[in-house]
């Protein structure tokens, strides 16, 4: 029987203690993060410890603790970086007209291209799948995911409000949050199942979105 998850105390610090400014310190900082990503892939978040990171990276505990107070702070930094990469890809896509298209096939293709890019980006990110699971499972880290979701949903909302001015703000807000959550779910599904066809999955999500927006026009 698996051991129950032990939740960290709410007052455990999550921020890095020090941001490196010199090249050597930056190297140490990045080695800690890269090593944590490797160990997350191998054994998951529950088995990740600062001692294991130090041993793999050839660092002393004081060298790690100079920058990070605990493993949760390390994961927060990794989560911040992953969420930022994903968000930047989405914002660039929107600015390039990703939500626009004269035909259904064009709109589906644009959405599929974005989701495929996000999936591949997450697959390449060290420990990407394990980071996603931890951001869902650890309450004190869930705020990273919620903040990213709400920021992206807000940007989607502005575009949809302009396209569908007669749709209520409440429905727009619900729809955009649902879109982002569904995108997260599809990304996690593809990342956690290496054999999953990311392109086929992304195209299916694109079709779902396009069909859903038809109900906005119909005001169902």
* Rounded CA separation 115/100 (Å): 15
* Rounded CA separation 187/121 (Å): 10
Map out the domains of the chain as residue ranges: 79-217
Q: How confident is the model at residue 2 (pLDDT cuts 50, 70, 90)?
A: very low
**Residue 10: is its pLDDT beyond 70?**
no
How far is the CA of 159 from the CAs of 50, 100, 162, 168, in angstroms? 44, 10, 5, 14
For domain 79-217, which architecture applies?
Answer: Orthogonal Bundle (1.10)
pLDDT score, position 6: 46
Q: How confident is the model at residue 108 (pLDDT cuts 50, 70, 90)?
A: very high
Q: Are 74 and 36 in contact (CB under 8 A)?
A: yes
Q: How confident is the model at residue 4 (pLDDT cuts 50, 70, 90)?
A: very low
| Per-residue tokens: 26 | 């930056």
pLDDT score, position 14: 65
**Residue 117: is its pLDDT beyond 80?**
yes
**To the nearest 10°, the Cα dihedral for 51, 56, 57, 62?**
20
Stretch 195-220: mean pLDDT: 86
pLDDT score, position 25: 82
Stretch 209-214: mean pLDDT: 89
Question: What DSSP letter does each residue of 79-96 carry, written as one string?
Answer: HHHHHHHHHHHHHHHHHT
User: What is the rounded average pLDDT for all residues in the chain?
Assistant: 87
pLDDT tens-digit map of 50-80: 999 999 999 999 999 999 999 999 999 999 9
pLDDT tens-digit map of 122-143: 989 988 888 888 888 888 788 8
pLDDT score, position 3: 44
pLDDT tens-digit map of 12-57: 766 666 677 778 888 999 999 999 999 998 888 888 999 999 999 9
């Amino acid at each position: 029987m698996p051991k129950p998850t032990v939740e960290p105390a709410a007052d455990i610090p999550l921020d890095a203690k020090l941001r490196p400014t010199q090249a050597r310190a930056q190297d140490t900082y990045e080695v800690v993060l890269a090593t944590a990503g490797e160990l997350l892939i191998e054994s998951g978040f529950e088995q990740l410890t600062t001692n294991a990171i130090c041993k793999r990276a050839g660092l002393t505990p004081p060298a790690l603790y100079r920058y990070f107070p605990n493993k949760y702070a390390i994961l927060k930094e990794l989560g911040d970086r992953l969420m930022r990469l994903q968000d930047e890809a989405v914002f660039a896509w929107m600015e390039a007209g990703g939500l626009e298209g004269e035909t259904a096939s064009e709109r589906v293709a644009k959405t599929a291209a974005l989701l495929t890019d996000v999936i591949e980006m997450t697959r390449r990110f060290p420990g990407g799948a394990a980071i996603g699971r931890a951001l869902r499972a650890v309450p004190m880290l869930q705020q990273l995911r919620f903040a990213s979701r709400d920021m992206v949903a807000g940007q989607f909302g502005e575009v949809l409000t302009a396209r569908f001015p007669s749709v209520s703000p409440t429905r727009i807000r619900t729809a955009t949050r649902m879109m982002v959550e569904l995108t997260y779910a599809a990304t996690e599904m593809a990342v956690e199942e290496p054999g999953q066809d990311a392109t086929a999955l992304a195209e299916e999500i694109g079709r779902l979105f396009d069909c859903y927006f038809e109900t906005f026009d119909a005001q169902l």
